[in-house]
Amino acid sequence: ESSYKRLTFDELTFYSGVIIVATLVLWKHLTGRNMFIKRGLNSVAQGITYFKAGKQPEAVQCFNKALDIDKKNVEALVARGALYANNESFTRAIDDFEAALKINSVHANARKYLHDTLLAYGKSNEDIEKYQEAEELYTKAMSLDQASVDAREALRFLHYRRVCYC
């Protein structure tokens, strides 16, 4: 059984709604030479639609197409990262979220999803007794959000477990 908390339908619905609204707003303002940006935004919106419908290969293709058009498409990186995280491809997800944060360091969803993915990957490592890796992931999650109760508790439990059972 997976220990990863998948994004809820409400979170995906909200996120896809934000992407679609942003796409429509930007669409009105882009003309001429910026048509490629429109195509990239359209690919992200279509990918999210596929993602929500459970058509993950098609969603990845759309996100990849958006990134082929614009390698700095933060929304495509975050959406693809969310898809990877939901499939427990944690390292790929982390890579996408970190790439998105290099482009836009305050992107709320990239930070939140990276934090949650680090915790899930840490738990996955802990479950197979890779305690050092788990500790590194929990610490990294804590560095993203100092107030994270989940990261703090995971670290505390891991330290307790290592002291009491080693």
Q: Taking the model in full, what pTM does it have?
A: 0.78
Q: CA angle, corner 154, sides to 93 and 112, nearest 5?
A: 35
Count Cα neighbours of 13 within 13 Å in the Cβ-side half-sphere. Answer: 3
User: Three-state secondary structure along 6-29?
Assistant: CCCHHHHHHHHHHHHHHHHHHHHH
Determine the Cα–Cα distance for residues 81 and 142; give it in Å rounded to an integer: 19
Which CATH code for domain 9-165?
Answer: 1.25.40.10
Going residue by residue through the chain, which has 166 residues, state the pLDDT in tens, using 9 for 90 and above: 445 455 554 455 445 555 555 555 555 555 554 676 778 889 999 999 999 999 999 999 999 999 999 999 999 999 999 999 999 999 999 999 999 999 999 999 999 999 999 999 999 999 999 999 999 999 999 999 989 999 999 999 988 877 776 5
Determine the Cα–Cα distance for residues 40 and 57; give it in Å rounded to an integer: 17
Q: CB of 45 within 8 A of CB of 23? A: yes
Determine the Cα–Cα distance for residues 65 and 46; give it in Å rounded to an integer: 11
Cα distances (angstroms) measured from residue 92 to each of 13, 18, 38, 84, 150? 23, 23, 26, 6, 22
